[in-house]
Chain A
Amino acid sequence: MPEPAIHLHELCKTYRVPERESGMGAAVKSLFHRRMQDIKAVDGLTFDVAPGEIVGFLGPNGAGKTTTLKMLSGLLHPTGGEGRVLGAIPWQRERAFLRQITLVMGQRNQLVWDIPAADSFELNRAIYRLPAADFRRTLDELTGLLELGPLLKKPVRNLSLGERMKCEIAAALLHRPKVVFLDEPTIGLDVTMQRRIRSFIAEYNRRSGATVLLTSHYMADVEALCKRVIVIHHGRLLFDGDLSALVQKFTAHKTIVVQLEDCQADLHTYGEVLNCEDGRFTLKVPKARTARVTERLLADLPVIDLLVEDPPIEEVIDTVFTQEAG
Protein backbone atom coordinates (compact mmCIF):
# COMPACT_ATOMS: atom_id res chain seq x y z
CA MET A 1 0.00 0.00 0.00
CA PRO A 2 1.57 3.31 -1.06
CA GLU A 3 1.53 6.31 1.27
CA PRO A 4 -1.87 8.03 0.96
CA ALA A 5 -2.04 11.33 -0.88
CA ILE A 6 -4.53 12.62 1.66
CA HIS A 7 -4.72 11.40 5.21
CA LEU A 8 -7.11 12.58 7.91
CA HIS A 9 -7.28 11.35 11.44
CA GLU A 10 -9.99 12.56 13.82
CA LEU A 11 -9.88 15.97 12.17
CA CYS A 12 -12.03 18.55 14.00
CA LYS A 13 -13.01 22.14 13.44
CA THR A 14 -15.08 24.06 15.94
CA TYR A 15 -16.19 27.62 15.28
CA ARG A 16 -17.01 29.96 18.10
CA VAL A 17 -19.77 32.28 17.06
CA PRO A 18 -21.61 34.88 19.08
CA GLU A 19 -25.06 33.71 19.97
CA ARG A 20 -27.64 35.96 18.48
CA GLU A 21 -30.89 36.50 20.23
CA SER A 22 -33.64 38.56 18.78
CA GLY A 23 -35.01 41.67 20.37
CA MET A 24 -33.69 45.07 21.26
CA GLY A 25 -32.73 44.21 24.81
CA ALA A 26 -30.63 41.27 23.71
CA ALA A 27 -28.91 43.43 21.10
CA VAL A 28 -27.93 46.00 23.72
CA LYS A 29 -26.83 43.31 26.13
CA SER A 30 -24.68 41.67 23.46
CA LEU A 31 -22.69 44.90 23.18
CA PHE A 32 -21.26 44.25 26.61
CA HIS A 33 -21.38 40.56 27.04
CA ARG A 34 -21.55 38.14 24.18
CA ARG A 35 -22.68 34.63 24.74
CA MET A 36 -20.53 32.44 22.56
CA GLN A 37 -21.66 29.25 21.01
CA ASP A 38 -19.51 26.41 19.73
CA ILE A 39 -20.41 25.02 16.33
CA LYS A 40 -18.78 21.78 15.35
CA ALA A 41 -18.33 22.07 11.62
CA VAL A 42 -16.08 19.04 11.35
CA ASP A 43 -16.30 16.51 14.12
CA GLY A 44 -13.65 13.81 14.01
CA LEU A 45 -13.19 12.91 10.36
CA THR A 46 -10.94 10.02 9.46
CA PHE A 47 -10.21 8.80 5.94
CA ASP A 48 -7.38 8.25 3.47
CA VAL A 49 -7.22 8.91 -0.24
CA ALA A 50 -4.71 7.03 -2.36
CA PRO A 51 -2.62 8.79 -5.01
CA GLY A 52 -4.46 9.06 -8.32
CA GLU A 53 -7.90 8.43 -6.86
CA ILE A 54 -10.96 10.55 -7.64
CA VAL A 55 -13.15 10.69 -4.58
CA GLY A 56 -16.60 12.27 -4.37
CA PHE A 57 -17.05 14.17 -1.13
CA LEU A 58 -20.76 14.42 -0.40
CA GLY A 59 -23.02 15.91 2.19
CA PRO A 60 -25.85 18.40 2.52
CA ASN A 61 -25.21 22.13 2.88
CA GLY A 62 -23.42 22.83 6.13
CA ALA A 63 -22.18 19.26 6.50
CA GLY A 64 -18.58 20.48 6.73
CA LYS A 65 -17.39 19.72 3.20
CA THR A 66 -16.00 23.15 2.42
CA THR A 67 -14.49 23.47 5.88
CA THR A 68 -12.68 20.17 5.36
CA LEU A 69 -11.45 21.20 1.91
CA LYS A 70 -10.21 24.48 3.34
CA MET A 71 -8.28 22.69 6.05
CA LEU A 72 -6.75 20.31 3.54
CA SER A 73 -5.69 23.17 1.29
CA GLY A 74 -4.13 25.03 4.20
CA LEU A 75 -6.66 27.85 4.51
CA LEU A 76 -8.03 26.87 7.90
CA HIS A 77 -6.47 25.58 11.05
CA PRO A 78 -8.24 22.60 12.58
CA THR A 79 -9.12 22.64 16.25
CA GLY A 80 -8.13 19.04 16.65
CA GLY A 81 -6.91 15.86 15.00
CA GLU A 82 -4.36 15.54 12.29
CA GLY A 83 -4.21 15.83 8.54
CA ARG A 84 -1.55 15.24 5.92
CA VAL A 85 -1.60 16.07 2.26
CA LEU A 86 1.32 14.67 0.28
CA GLY A 87 3.01 14.09 3.59
CA ALA A 88 2.86 17.76 4.59
CA ILE A 89 0.72 19.41 7.24
CA PRO A 90 -1.41 21.67 5.07
CA TRP A 91 -1.99 24.55 7.50
CA GLN A 92 1.74 25.10 7.92
CA ARG A 93 1.42 26.45 4.41
CA GLU A 94 4.91 25.56 3.29
CA ARG A 95 5.66 26.79 -0.19
CA ALA A 96 6.75 23.36 -1.38
CA PHE A 97 3.34 22.05 -0.35
CA LEU A 98 1.34 24.91 -1.86
CA ARG A 99 3.16 24.39 -5.13
CA GLN A 100 1.70 20.88 -5.39
CA ILE A 101 -1.95 21.50 -4.67
CA THR A 102 -4.74 23.56 -6.12
CA LEU A 103 -8.22 24.64 -5.12
CA VAL A 104 -11.08 25.39 -7.49
CA MET A 105 -14.24 26.92 -6.11
CA GLY A 106 -17.20 27.05 -8.44
CA GLN A 107 -18.71 30.04 -6.74
CA ARG A 108 -15.62 32.22 -6.62
CA ASN A 109 -13.19 33.51 -9.17
CA GLN A 110 -9.48 33.78 -8.97
CA LEU A 111 -9.17 35.24 -12.45
CA VAL A 112 -8.95 39.01 -12.52
CA TRP A 113 -12.26 40.32 -13.81
CA ASP A 114 -11.05 43.05 -16.13
CA ILE A 115 -8.19 41.35 -17.91
CA PRO A 116 -8.02 38.42 -20.33
CA ALA A 117 -7.52 34.97 -18.81
CA ALA A 118 -4.19 34.66 -20.63
CA ASP A 119 -2.84 37.51 -18.51
CA SER A 120 -4.05 35.95 -15.29
CA PHE A 121 -2.27 32.78 -16.41
CA GLU A 122 0.84 34.86 -16.86
CA LEU A 123 0.55 36.08 -13.27
CA ASN A 124 0.21 32.52 -12.04
CA ARG A 125 3.25 31.54 -14.02
CA ALA A 126 5.25 34.21 -12.19
CA ILE A 127 3.81 33.23 -8.81
CA TYR A 128 4.54 29.53 -9.28
CA ARG A 129 7.85 30.29 -11.01
CA LEU A 130 7.11 27.98 -13.90
CA PRO A 131 9.82 27.65 -16.55
CA ALA A 132 8.63 29.06 -19.87
CA ALA A 133 8.79 25.76 -21.74
CA ASP A 134 6.82 23.84 -19.10
CA PHE A 135 4.26 26.58 -18.90
CA ARG A 136 3.83 26.65 -22.65
CA ARG A 137 3.41 22.89 -22.82
CA THR A 138 0.85 22.72 -20.00
CA LEU A 139 -1.07 25.65 -21.37
CA ASP A 140 -1.21 24.11 -24.84
CA GLU A 141 -2.42 20.86 -23.40
CA LEU A 142 -5.12 22.53 -21.28
CA THR A 143 -6.13 24.76 -24.17
CA GLY A 144 -6.62 21.68 -26.28
CA LEU A 145 -8.51 19.69 -23.70
CA LEU A 146 -10.80 22.52 -22.62
CA GLU A 147 -11.03 24.20 -26.03
CA LEU A 148 -9.93 27.53 -24.60
CA GLY A 149 -8.39 28.89 -27.80
CA PRO A 150 -10.69 31.80 -28.59
CA LEU A 151 -11.45 32.57 -24.92
CA LEU A 152 -7.99 33.41 -23.67
CA LYS A 153 -7.73 36.87 -25.19
CA LYS A 154 -11.11 38.14 -24.04
CA PRO A 155 -11.51 40.01 -20.76
CA VAL A 156 -12.91 37.57 -18.23
CA ARG A 157 -15.98 39.72 -17.59
CA ASN A 158 -17.05 39.12 -21.20
CA LEU A 159 -17.03 35.34 -20.85
CA SER A 160 -20.09 33.26 -20.09
CA LEU A 161 -20.26 31.43 -16.78
CA GLY A 162 -19.23 28.15 -18.36
CA GLU A 163 -16.37 29.69 -20.33
CA ARG A 164 -15.17 31.42 -17.20
CA MET A 165 -15.21 28.15 -15.28
CA LYS A 166 -13.12 26.46 -17.94
CA CYS A 167 -10.57 29.26 -17.65
CA GLU A 168 -10.69 29.08 -13.84
CA ILE A 169 -9.91 25.39 -13.98
CA ALA A 170 -7.07 25.91 -16.43
CA ALA A 171 -5.59 28.64 -14.21
CA ALA A 172 -5.73 26.29 -11.26
CA LEU A 173 -3.91 23.50 -13.09
CA LEU A 174 -1.10 25.40 -14.80
CA HIS A 175 1.42 24.32 -12.19
CA ARG A 176 0.47 20.65 -12.59
CA PRO A 177 -0.65 20.09 -9.01
CA LYS A 178 -0.55 16.58 -7.60
CA VAL A 179 -3.65 17.11 -5.48
CA VAL A 180 -6.71 18.91 -6.80
CA PHE A 181 -9.52 20.10 -4.54
CA LEU A 182 -12.68 20.86 -6.50
CA ASP A 183 -15.49 22.56 -4.59
CA GLU A 184 -18.66 22.53 -6.67
CA PRO A 185 -16.84 23.03 -9.97
CA THR A 186 -19.98 22.65 -12.07
CA ILE A 187 -22.38 24.73 -10.03
CA GLY A 188 -24.73 26.87 -12.06
CA LEU A 189 -23.54 25.51 -15.41
CA ASP A 190 -25.84 24.11 -18.05
CA VAL A 191 -25.95 20.37 -18.60
CA THR A 192 -23.71 20.35 -21.66
CA MET A 193 -21.05 22.40 -19.95
CA GLN A 194 -21.26 20.22 -16.85
CA ARG A 195 -20.61 17.20 -19.01
CA ARG A 196 -17.62 18.87 -20.65
CA ILE A 197 -16.06 19.81 -17.33
CA ARG A 198 -16.70 16.31 -16.05
CA SER A 199 -15.02 14.58 -18.95
CA PHE A 200 -12.13 17.00 -18.65
CA ILE A 201 -11.61 16.13 -15.00
CA ALA A 202 -11.63 12.43 -15.82
CA GLU A 203 -9.17 12.96 -18.65
CA TYR A 204 -6.90 15.16 -16.58
CA ASN A 205 -6.85 12.58 -13.80
CA ARG A 206 -6.02 9.83 -16.27
CA ARG A 207 -3.18 11.79 -17.87
CA SER A 208 -1.57 13.36 -14.84
CA GLY A 209 -2.35 10.81 -12.17
CA ALA A 210 -3.41 13.64 -9.87
CA THR A 211 -5.49 12.90 -6.80
CA VAL A 212 -8.89 14.59 -6.95
CA LEU A 213 -11.25 15.34 -4.09
CA LEU A 214 -14.53 16.66 -5.44
CA THR A 215 -17.67 18.06 -3.90
CA SER A 216 -20.76 18.53 -5.99
CA HIS A 217 -24.49 18.86 -5.65
CA TYR A 218 -24.90 17.22 -9.02
CA MET A 219 -25.02 13.48 -8.63
CA ALA A 220 -24.29 13.10 -12.30
CA ASP A 221 -20.81 14.49 -11.58
CA VAL A 222 -20.28 11.96 -8.86
CA GLU A 223 -21.68 9.04 -10.83
CA ALA A 224 -19.53 9.85 -13.83
CA LEU A 225 -16.29 10.53 -11.99
CA CYS A 226 -16.10 8.82 -8.66
CA LYS A 227 -15.92 5.16 -7.99
CA ARG A 228 -15.53 5.95 -4.35
CA VAL A 229 -17.59 8.38 -2.31
CA ILE A 230 -17.22 9.78 1.18
CA VAL A 231 -20.44 11.01 2.72
CA ILE A 232 -20.43 13.31 5.73
CA HIS A 233 -23.22 14.85 7.74
CA HIS A 234 -22.99 17.18 10.74
CA GLY A 235 -19.22 16.97 10.34
CA ARG A 236 -19.14 13.22 10.87
CA LEU A 237 -18.38 10.41 8.47
CA LEU A 238 -21.48 8.54 7.39
CA PHE A 239 -20.16 6.38 4.62
CA ASP A 240 -16.89 5.70 2.86
CA GLY A 241 -16.80 3.21 0.02
CA ASP A 242 -17.98 2.37 -3.46
CA LEU A 243 -20.88 4.27 -4.90
CA SER A 244 -22.72 1.03 -5.56
CA ALA A 245 -22.21 -0.08 -1.98
CA LEU A 246 -23.73 3.20 -0.83
CA VAL A 247 -26.87 2.41 -2.76
CA GLN A 248 -26.94 -1.09 -1.34
CA LYS A 249 -26.46 0.07 2.17
CA PHE A 250 -28.87 2.91 2.33
CA THR A 251 -31.79 1.84 0.23
CA ALA A 252 -34.36 -0.55 1.44
CA HIS A 253 -36.26 -0.18 -1.83
CA LYS A 254 -36.00 -0.85 -5.49
CA THR A 255 -38.12 0.54 -8.25
CA ILE A 256 -39.87 -1.73 -10.70
CA VAL A 257 -40.96 -0.23 -14.00
CA VAL A 258 -43.58 -2.33 -15.83
CA GLN A 259 -45.19 -1.70 -19.18
CA LEU A 260 -48.70 -3.26 -19.38
CA GLU A 261 -51.14 -3.72 -22.25
CA ASP A 262 -53.91 -2.72 -19.91
CA CYS A 263 -53.73 0.94 -19.02
CA GLN A 264 -56.47 0.81 -16.39
CA ALA A 265 -54.85 -1.77 -14.09
CA ASP A 266 -54.62 -1.03 -10.38
CA LEU A 267 -51.22 -2.06 -9.09
CA HIS A 268 -51.32 -0.66 -5.57
CA THR A 269 -51.56 -4.11 -4.07
CA TYR A 270 -48.08 -4.88 -5.46
CA GLY A 271 -46.32 -1.84 -4.08
CA GLU A 272 -46.39 1.96 -3.80
CA VAL A 273 -47.24 3.44 -7.23
CA LEU A 274 -44.91 6.34 -7.86
CA ASN A 275 -45.96 7.12 -11.36
CA CYS A 276 -48.21 5.81 -14.09
CA GLU A 277 -48.80 6.96 -17.61
CA ASP A 278 -49.98 5.11 -20.70
CA GLY A 279 -49.69 1.74 -19.03
CA ARG A 280 -46.16 2.42 -17.79
CA PHE A 281 -46.10 2.01 -14.02
CA THR A 282 -43.32 2.81 -11.60
CA LEU A 283 -43.53 0.89 -8.34
CA LYS A 284 -41.55 1.27 -5.15
CA VAL A 285 -40.97 -2.08 -3.51
CA PRO A 286 -39.03 -3.14 -0.40
CA LYS A 287 -35.77 -4.69 -1.51
CA ALA A 288 -36.44 -8.04 0.17
CA ARG A 289 -39.69 -8.47 -1.69
CA THR A 290 -38.45 -7.49 -5.14
CA ALA A 291 -38.17 -11.02 -6.46
CA ARG A 292 -41.60 -12.05 -5.20
CA VAL A 293 -43.35 -8.98 -6.55
CA THR A 294 -41.71 -9.38 -9.92
CA GLU A 295 -42.81 -12.97 -10.07
CA ARG A 296 -46.41 -12.08 -9.20
CA LEU A 297 -46.52 -9.24 -11.70
CA LEU A 298 -45.36 -11.49 -14.51
CA ALA A 299 -47.82 -14.20 -13.51
CA ASP A 300 -50.89 -11.98 -12.94
CA LEU A 301 -50.71 -9.32 -15.61
CA PRO A 302 -50.17 -8.88 -19.38
CA VAL A 303 -46.63 -7.53 -18.98
CA ILE A 304 -44.90 -6.21 -22.10
CA ASP A 305 -41.73 -5.08 -20.42
CA LEU A 306 -40.32 -5.07 -16.90
CA LEU A 307 -37.28 -3.35 -15.39
CA VAL A 308 -35.85 -3.52 -11.88
CA GLU A 309 -33.74 -0.52 -10.91
CA ASP A 310 -31.95 1.01 -7.99
CA PRO A 311 -33.46 4.34 -7.07
CA PRO A 312 -31.69 7.44 -8.46
CA ILE A 313 -28.64 8.37 -6.45
CA GLU A 314 -30.10 11.73 -5.44
CA GLU A 315 -32.86 9.86 -3.73
CA VAL A 316 -30.40 7.61 -1.96
CA ILE A 317 -28.45 10.53 -0.65
CA ASP A 318 -31.69 12.19 0.41
CA THR A 319 -32.71 9.15 2.41
CA VAL A 320 -29.26 8.97 3.96
CA PHE A 321 -29.59 12.47 5.29
CA THR A 322 -33.19 12.30 6.34
CA GLN A 323 -32.53 9.04 8.18
CA GLU A 324 -29.63 10.71 9.92
CA ALA A 325 -31.70 13.71 10.86
CA GLY A 326 -34.61 11.59 12.08
Chain B
Amino acid sequence: MNTLRLIYVFFRVSVLNETAYRVNFFIQLFQSLLELGTALAGLAVIFSYTHALGGWRPDEMLALVGVYFLVGGIISLVVQPGMSALIDSVRDGTLDFTLTKPEDAQLLVSIQRVAIWSLLDLLMGLGVLGTALVRLGQSIGAAEAAEFIGMLLAGAVIVYSFWLILASLSFWLVRVENLLEIFQSMYQAGRWPVSLYPGWLRFALTFIVPVAFATSVPAEALTGRLDILTLLGALGLALLLFAVARLVWRLGLRRYSGASA
Protein backbone atom coordinates (compact mmCIF):
# COMPACT_ATOMS: atom_id res chain seq x y z
CA MET B 1 0.00 0.00 0.00
CA ASN B 2 2.82 2.31 0.86
CA THR B 3 4.35 1.47 -2.52
CA LEU B 4 1.29 2.78 -4.31
CA ARG B 5 1.32 5.92 -2.19
CA LEU B 6 4.97 6.47 -3.01
CA ILE B 7 4.31 6.03 -6.73
CA TYR B 8 1.44 8.47 -6.43
CA VAL B 9 3.62 11.11 -4.74
CA PHE B 10 6.40 10.80 -7.33
CA PHE B 11 3.83 11.00 -10.07
CA ARG B 12 2.09 14.02 -8.59
CA VAL B 13 5.32 15.93 -8.21
CA SER B 14 6.19 15.50 -11.88
CA VAL B 15 2.69 16.43 -12.93
CA LEU B 16 2.78 19.61 -10.88
CA ASN B 17 6.13 20.54 -12.28
CA GLU B 18 5.58 19.77 -15.90
CA THR B 19 2.28 21.59 -16.03
CA ALA B 20 4.33 24.72 -15.44
CA TYR B 21 5.91 24.20 -18.86
CA ARG B 22 2.92 24.24 -21.11
CA VAL B 23 4.97 24.71 -24.26
CA ASN B 24 6.40 21.24 -23.69
CA PHE B 25 2.89 19.90 -23.72
CA PHE B 26 2.17 21.33 -27.14
CA ILE B 27 5.50 20.24 -28.53
CA GLN B 28 4.91 16.70 -27.29
CA LEU B 29 1.37 16.78 -28.63
CA PHE B 30 2.70 17.89 -32.00
CA GLN B 31 5.34 15.17 -32.04
CA SER B 32 2.99 12.42 -30.89
CA LEU B 33 0.38 13.38 -33.46
CA LEU B 34 3.02 13.40 -36.18
CA GLU B 35 4.18 9.97 -35.17
CA LEU B 36 0.67 8.60 -35.06
CA GLY B 37 -0.13 10.24 -38.40
CA THR B 38 2.96 8.66 -39.91
CA ALA B 39 2.00 5.23 -38.63
CA LEU B 40 -1.54 5.54 -39.94
CA ALA B 41 -0.45 6.96 -43.30
CA GLY B 42 1.99 4.08 -43.64
CA LEU B 43 -0.84 1.64 -43.05
CA ALA B 44 -3.00 3.50 -45.57
CA VAL B 45 -0.34 3.15 -48.26
CA ILE B 46 0.05 -0.55 -47.59
CA PHE B 47 -3.66 -1.30 -47.40
CA SER B 48 -4.26 0.54 -50.65
CA TYR B 49 -2.52 -2.46 -52.22
CA THR B 50 -3.87 -5.32 -50.13
CA HIS B 51 -6.76 -6.34 -47.87
CA ALA B 52 -4.71 -8.11 -45.28
CA LEU B 53 -1.08 -8.02 -44.25
CA GLY B 54 0.10 -11.51 -43.39
CA GLY B 55 -3.49 -12.32 -42.40
CA TRP B 56 -3.98 -9.11 -40.37
CA ARG B 57 -6.92 -7.01 -41.52
CA PRO B 58 -6.72 -3.18 -41.35
CA ASP B 59 -8.68 -2.92 -38.09
CA GLU B 60 -6.53 -5.57 -36.48
CA MET B 61 -3.42 -3.69 -37.58
CA LEU B 62 -4.98 -0.59 -36.08
CA ALA B 63 -5.27 -2.43 -32.77
CA LEU B 64 -1.59 -3.35 -33.02
CA VAL B 65 -0.67 0.29 -33.64
CA GLY B 66 -2.73 1.18 -30.56
CA VAL B 67 -0.82 -1.32 -28.43
CA TYR B 68 2.45 -0.08 -29.91
CA PHE B 69 1.71 3.49 -28.78
CA LEU B 70 0.31 2.38 -25.46
CA VAL B 71 3.37 0.34 -24.49
CA GLY B 72 5.76 2.85 -26.05
CA GLY B 73 4.03 5.49 -23.93
CA ILE B 74 4.58 3.48 -20.76
CA ILE B 75 8.25 3.03 -21.63
CA SER B 76 8.89 6.69 -22.26
CA LEU B 77 6.71 7.72 -19.32
CA VAL B 78 8.57 5.91 -16.52
CA VAL B 79 10.86 3.11 -17.66
CA GLN B 80 13.24 4.97 -19.95
CA PRO B 81 13.63 8.12 -17.78
CA GLY B 82 14.14 6.10 -14.60
CA MET B 83 16.67 3.73 -16.09
CA SER B 84 18.71 6.50 -17.72
CA ALA B 85 18.74 8.30 -14.38
CA LEU B 86 19.90 5.08 -12.72
CA ILE B 87 22.84 4.78 -15.11
CA ASP B 88 23.77 8.41 -14.50
CA SER B 89 23.53 8.02 -10.75
CA VAL B 90 25.79 4.97 -10.72
CA ARG B 91 28.36 6.92 -12.71
CA ASP B 92 28.29 10.12 -10.67
CA GLY B 93 27.70 8.44 -7.31
CA THR B 94 24.35 10.03 -6.48
CA LEU B 95 22.92 6.54 -6.15
CA ASP B 96 24.35 6.80 -2.63
CA PHE B 97 21.47 9.07 -1.67
CA THR B 98 18.91 6.55 -2.88
CA LEU B 99 20.64 3.79 -0.95
CA THR B 100 20.55 5.69 2.32
CA LYS B 101 16.76 5.89 2.10
CA PRO B 102 14.65 3.50 4.18
CA GLU B 103 12.76 2.19 1.16
CA ASP B 104 13.35 -0.49 -1.44
CA ALA B 105 16.00 1.02 -3.70
CA GLN B 106 14.76 -0.79 -6.81
CA LEU B 107 11.35 0.78 -6.36
CA LEU B 108 12.86 4.21 -5.81
CA VAL B 109 15.07 4.14 -8.90
CA SER B 110 12.24 2.76 -11.00
CA ILE B 111 9.88 5.62 -10.25
CA GLN B 112 12.40 8.39 -9.72
CA ARG B 113 11.68 10.12 -13.01
CA VAL B 114 8.37 10.51 -14.78
CA ALA B 115 8.25 12.14 -18.22
CA ILE B 116 4.69 13.17 -17.76
CA TRP B 117 3.83 14.35 -21.27
CA SER B 118 4.48 10.85 -22.55
CA LEU B 119 1.02 10.23 -21.16
CA LEU B 120 -0.09 11.66 -24.48
CA ASP B 121 1.37 8.67 -26.32
CA LEU B 122 -0.32 6.42 -23.85
CA LEU B 123 -3.68 8.13 -24.24
CA MET B 124 -3.32 8.20 -28.00
CA GLY B 125 -2.58 4.50 -27.94
CA LEU B 126 -5.72 3.94 -25.89
CA GLY B 127 -7.72 6.04 -28.34
CA VAL B 128 -6.48 4.11 -31.34
CA LEU B 129 -7.04 0.85 -29.52
CA GLY B 130 -10.59 1.91 -28.63
CA THR B 131 -11.33 2.85 -32.22
CA ALA B 132 -9.98 -0.46 -33.41
CA LEU B 133 -12.11 -2.31 -30.86
CA VAL B 134 -15.26 -0.55 -31.95
CA ARG B 135 -14.55 -1.35 -35.58
CA LEU B 136 -13.73 -4.94 -34.80
CA GLY B 137 -17.15 -5.05 -33.13
CA GLN B 138 -18.50 -8.28 -31.71
CA SER B 139 -15.44 -10.36 -32.40
CA ILE B 140 -13.93 -9.50 -29.01
CA GLY B 141 -15.16 -11.78 -26.26
CA ALA B 142 -14.59 -11.67 -22.53
CA ALA B 143 -11.89 -14.30 -22.83
CA GLU B 144 -9.96 -12.26 -25.39
CA ALA B 145 -10.29 -9.14 -23.29
CA ALA B 146 -8.94 -10.94 -20.22
CA GLU B 147 -6.13 -12.48 -22.23
CA PHE B 148 -5.32 -9.08 -23.70
CA ILE B 149 -5.04 -7.38 -20.33
CA GLY B 150 -2.98 -10.25 -18.99
CA MET B 151 -0.63 -10.13 -21.96
CA LEU B 152 -0.34 -6.36 -21.78
CA LEU B 153 0.71 -6.60 -18.14
CA ALA B 154 3.10 -9.45 -18.91
CA GLY B 155 4.55 -7.38 -21.76
CA ALA B 156 5.01 -4.37 -19.51
CA VAL B 157 6.75 -6.48 -16.85
CA ILE B 158 9.00 -8.08 -19.48
CA VAL B 159 9.98 -4.73 -20.94
CA TYR B 160 10.60 -3.19 -17.51
CA SER B 161 12.67 -6.16 -16.36
CA PHE B 162 14.68 -6.12 -19.56
CA TRP B 163 15.48 -2.43 -19.12
CA LEU B 164 16.37 -2.91 -15.48
CA ILE B 165 18.77 -5.72 -16.37
CA LEU B 166 20.46 -3.58 -19.01
CA ALA B 167 20.62 -0.54 -16.75
CA SER B 168 22.00 -2.64 -13.89
CA LEU B 169 24.89 -3.63 -16.11
CA SER B 170 26.18 -0.14 -15.42
CA PHE B 171 27.40 -1.49 -12.09
CA TRP B 172 29.96 -3.47 -14.10
CA LEU B 173 30.31 -1.64 -17.41
CA VAL B 174 30.63 1.91 -18.60
CA ARG B 175 28.56 3.31 -21.45
CA VAL B 176 25.48 1.17 -21.02
CA GLU B 177 23.33 3.86 -22.63
CA ASN B 178 24.26 2.28 -25.93
CA LEU B 179 22.51 -0.93 -25.00
CA LEU B 180 19.35 0.96 -24.10
CA GLU B 181 19.51 2.60 -27.51
CA ILE B 182 19.38 -0.84 -29.12
CA PHE B 183 16.05 -1.50 -27.48
CA GLN B 184 14.70 1.85 -28.56
CA SER B 185 15.68 1.29 -32.17
CA MET B 186 14.43 -2.29 -32.25
CA TYR B 187 11.14 -1.32 -30.69
CA GLN B 188 10.04 0.18 -33.99
CA ALA B 189 9.93 -3.34 -35.42
CA GLY B 190 7.12 -4.02 -32.94
CA ARG B 191 4.73 -1.90 -34.99
CA TRP B 192 4.23 -4.86 -37.28
CA PRO B 193 3.09 -8.38 -36.40
CA VAL B 194 6.18 -10.45 -35.64
CA SER B 195 4.64 -13.28 -37.62
CA LEU B 196 5.63 -11.37 -40.76
CA TYR B 197 9.31 -11.65 -39.99
CA PRO B 198 11.57 -14.50 -41.00
CA GLY B 199 12.41 -16.98 -38.23
CA TRP B 200 15.80 -15.54 -37.20
CA LEU B 201 14.43 -12.03 -36.84
CA ARG B 202 11.36 -13.28 -34.99
CA PHE B 203 13.64 -15.15 -32.63
CA ALA B 204 15.75 -12.04 -32.03
CA LEU B 205 12.68 -9.89 -31.39
CA THR B 206 11.26 -12.46 -29.01
CA PHE B 207 14.15 -13.71 -26.96
CA ILE B 208 17.10 -11.36 -27.42
CA VAL B 209 15.23 -8.07 -27.33
CA PRO B 210 11.72 -8.98 -26.19
CA VAL B 211 9.81 -6.54 -28.37
CA ALA B 212 7.34 -9.17 -29.54
CA PHE B 213 5.88 -9.65 -26.06
CA ALA B 214 5.35 -5.94 -25.68
CA THR B 215 3.25 -5.34 -28.78
CA SER B 216 2.53 -8.33 -31.01
CA VAL B 217 1.47 -10.78 -28.32
CA PRO B 218 -1.13 -8.50 -26.67
CA ALA B 219 -2.50 -7.64 -30.11
CA GLU B 220 -2.64 -11.33 -30.96
CA ALA B 221 -4.62 -11.92 -27.77
CA LEU B 222 -7.05 -9.21 -28.74
CA THR B 223 -7.61 -10.55 -32.23
CA GLY B 224 -8.01 -14.13 -31.09
CA ARG B 225 -4.72 -15.34 -32.56
CA LEU B 226 -3.04 -16.27 -29.32
CA ASP B 227 -2.29 -19.93 -28.71
CA ILE B 228 -2.10 -21.24 -25.20
CA LEU B 229 1.62 -21.95 -25.50
CA THR B 230 2.49 -18.32 -26.22
CA LEU B 231 0.20 -17.21 -23.42
CA LEU B 232 1.87 -19.43 -20.87
CA GLY B 233 5.26 -18.58 -22.32
CA ALA B 234 4.63 -14.86 -21.92
CA LEU B 235 3.47 -15.24 -18.33
CA GLY B 236 6.40 -17.52 -17.52
CA LEU B 237 8.88 -15.20 -19.15
CA ALA B 238 7.42 -12.21 -17.29
CA LEU B 239 7.91 -13.95 -13.94
CA LEU B 240 11.32 -15.30 -14.83
CA LEU B 241 12.63 -12.02 -16.23
CA PHE B 242 11.33 -10.09 -13.25
CA ALA B 243 13.13 -12.47 -10.90
CA VAL B 244 16.31 -12.28 -12.98
CA ALA B 245 16.12 -8.50 -13.05
CA ARG B 246 15.77 -8.40 -9.28
CA LEU B 247 18.74 -10.74 -8.96
CA VAL B 248 20.94 -8.76 -11.34
CA TRP B 249 19.98 -5.57 -9.53
CA ARG B 250 20.89 -7.13 -6.18
CA LEU B 251 24.19 -8.43 -7.50
CA GLY B 252 24.90 -5.00 -8.92
CA LEU B 253 24.23 -3.39 -5.55
CA ARG B 254 26.48 -5.94 -3.90
CA ARG B 255 29.24 -5.02 -6.27
CA TYR B 256 28.55 -1.34 -5.68
CA SER B 257 28.82 -1.78 -1.92
CA GLY B 258 31.75 -4.16 -2.14
CA ALA B 259 29.96 -7.00 -0.34
CA SER B 260 31.65 -10.19 -1.36
CA ALA B 261 29.07 -12.35 -3.06
Write the residues of chain B forming the contact surface with A, with a CB cutoff of 8 angstroms.
2, 5-6, 9-10, 13-14, 16-17, 92-94, 96-97, 99-103, 108, 112, 256-260
Main secondary structure of the interface of A (DSSP, over half): mixed
Question: How many residues of chain A are within 8 Å of chain B by beta carbon?
Answer: 37
Q: For the complex, give the distance between the alpha carbons of A310 and B2 in Å.
A: 57
Interfacial residues of chain A within 124-139, with CB under 8 A of chain B in the complex: 124-129
Does B100 lie within 8 Å of A103, measured CB to CB?
yes
Interfacial residues of chain A within 60-119, with CB under 8 A of chain B in the complex: 70, 73-77, 79, 91, 93, 95-99, 101-103, 105, 108-110, 112, 114-116, 119
**Besides the known contacts A96-B102, A115-B14, 10 further A-B residue pairs in the complex with CB atoms under 8 A apart:** A15-B258, A73-B100, A74-B99, A74-B100, A79-B258, A79-B260, A91-B257, A105-B96, A127-B108, A129-B2
Does A119 lie within 8 Å of B16, measured CB to CB?
yes
CB distance from B108 to the nearest CB of A (A): 7
Query: Which single member of A91, A105, A127 contacts B259 (CB below 8 Å)?
Result: A91
Q: Given A122-B13, A123-B9, A128-B102, check contact A103 B2 (CB 8 Å).
A: no
CB distance from B66 to the nearest CB of A (A): 31
A13 in the interface (beta carbon within 8 A): yes
Q: For the complex, give the distance between the alpha carbons of A127 and B99 in Å.
A: 12
CB distance from A17 to the nearest CB of B (A): 12
Q: For the complex, give the distance between the alpha carbons of A165 and B102 in Å.
A: 22
Q: Given A98-B102, A127-B102, check contact A122 B258 (CB 8 Å).
A: no
Interfacial residues of chain A within 272-311, with CB under 8 A of chain B in the complex: none
Closest to B13 in A: A119
Write the residues of chain A forming the contact surface with B, with a CB cutoff of 8 angstroms.
13, 15, 70, 73-77, 79, 91, 93, 95-99, 101-103, 105, 108-110, 112, 114-116, 119, 122-129, 155
Does B94 lie within 8 Å of A109, measured CB to CB?
yes
- What are 6 pairs between A and B in contact, CB < 8 Å? A73-B96, A74-B99, A101-B100, A127-B102, A128-B101, A155-B17
Does B102 lie within 8 Å of A95, measured CB to CB?
yes
Q: For the complex, give the distance between the alpha carbons of A87 and B247 in Å.
A: 29
CB distance from A169 to the nearest CB of B (A): 13
Q: For the complex, give the distance between the alpha carbons of A206 and B256 in Å.
A: 35
Query: Which single member of B94, B101, B259 contacts A108 (CB below 8 Å)?
Result: B94
Closest to B92 in A: A108
Does A126 lie within 8 Å of B9, measured CB to CB?
yes
Does A115 lie within 8 Å of B17, measured CB to CB?
yes
CB distance from B96 to the nearest CB of A (A): 5
CB distance from A320 to the nearest CB of B (A): 28
Does B103 lie within 8 Å of A114, measured CB to CB?
no
Closest to B111 in A: A123
CB distance from B173 to the nearest CB of A (A): 14
Does B100 lie within 8 Å of A127, measured CB to CB?
no
